[in-house]
Amino acid sequence: MGRIVRVGLTGGIGSGKSAVADVWRKRGATIIDADVLAREAVAPGSRGLREVALRWPAVIAADGTLDRPALARIVFDNAAERAVLNGIVHPRVRALAQAREAEVPDGTIVVQVVPLLFESEYARTCDATVAVVAPDASRIERVMRRDSIDRESVLQRMRAQIDPAEARRRATYVIENDADLATLHDRASAVYDALALDRSL
Ligand code: ATP
């Protein structure tokens, strides 16, 4: 076994991805979260942030950091602006993810947490993919509580993501998150066993 295993972990907003990733981290996986890397890509002092500042000077706050809500308002309903932003952020996220992967020892299970996994080409580069699927009603409730936002804002974010039925169809493994957290942990652990077994084949 002279290589790493790359697992793509996905699921809609509030589906339980982070909870699954936490279980796998404890089991020894290296977790690389695309959302975290996307923030790093435009961190203070980064080239990404300079490019954003050149394109949209108004989204840089007085202290030189990114005004995220202002940028979100610009790209939210404008596909062309969103494509420009993705063109700045995505290559950096990929480079950062590659750099992390390069550091892990052979045989490690590396989990890339990517909310839009099946909407991108990235899924094809994974050895296995896992979708976490939860009932809409519980997702809405949990995200409203976690992020202190209203129902309509959650629905808006859900609509921008892949239909869970599609993710369910395409994933190598599906984790149903339709019970309590202890059950989710057990199911996550069982899928980890399967991934570890795949690795040794
Ligand atoms: P996002 O994409 O929005 O970051 P996520 O898919 O990573 O979401 P989590 O953060 O894991 O989702 O879960 C959302 C919230 O719901 C968290 O506060 C988590 O603790 C809680 N949660 C997840 N699954 C359950 C469950 N089965 N029972 C109770 N609470 C849960």
What are the phi and psi torsion angles at 66 (to 5°)?
Answer: -80, 130
Q: Tell me, what's the pLDDT at 180?
A: 96
Nearest CA to ligand 1 atom 23: 16
Q: Pocket of ligand 1, candidates 32, 111, 130, 146: which has the most ligand atoms within 8 Å of its Cβ, to mutate?
A: 146
80's tokens? 């062309």
Query: What's the 19 CA to ligand 1 centre distance in angstroms?
Result: 6
Q: Tell me, what's the pLDDT at 20?
A: 98
The mean pLDDT of 1-24, rounded to a whole number, is 90
For ligand 1, residues with CB inside 6 Å are 11, 13-19, 115, 142-143, 146, 177, 180-181, 184
What is the extent of the structural domain holding 23? 5-200
Query: What's the 151 CA to ligand 1 centre distance in angstroms?
Result: 16
The mean pLDDT of 25-35, rounded to a whole number, is 96
Instruction: Kindly give the number of the ligand 1 atom that is closest to the alpha carbon of 113.
Output: 7
Query: What's the 152 CA to ligand 1 centre distance in angstroms?
Result: 18
The mean pLDDT of 8-12, rounded to a whole number, is 96
Tell me how far CA of residue 95 lies from CA of 16, 56, 64, 103, 147, in angstroms.
26, 23, 24, 13, 29
Query: What's the 33 CA to ligand 1 centre distance in angstroms?
Result: 15
CATH code of residue 172: 3.40.50.300
185's tokens? 């942990």
Among 22, 28, 26, residue whose Cα is nearest residue 5: 28
Q: What percent of the chain lies above the pLDDT cut of 90? A: 80
Per residue in 73-116, pLDDT (tens digit) is: 999 889 999 999 999 999 999 999 999 999 999 889 999 999 98
Task: Specify the pTM.
Answer: 0.90
Q: Tell me, what's the pLDDT at 201?
A: 64
- Number of domains within the chain: 1
Q: Tell me, what's the pLDDT at 1?
A: 47
Q: Tell me, what's the pLDDT at 199?
A: 78
Distance of alpha carbon 65 from alpha carbon 44, whole angstroms: 6
Query: What's the 27 CA to ligand 1 centre distance in angstroms?
Result: 19
Query: What's the 14 CA to ligand 1 centre distance in angstroms?
Result: 5
Distance of alpha carbon 169 from alpha carbon 128, whole angstroms: 13
**119: pLDDT confidence band, cut at 50, 70 and 90?**
confident
Nearest CA to ligand 1 atom 13: 16
Q: What percent of the chain lies above the pLDDT cut of 70? A: 99
Q: Which residues of 131-144 are buried (b: 16+ CB within 10 A; e: fewer)?
A: bbbbeeeebbebbe
- Whether 187 shows a pLDDT value over 80: the answer reads yes
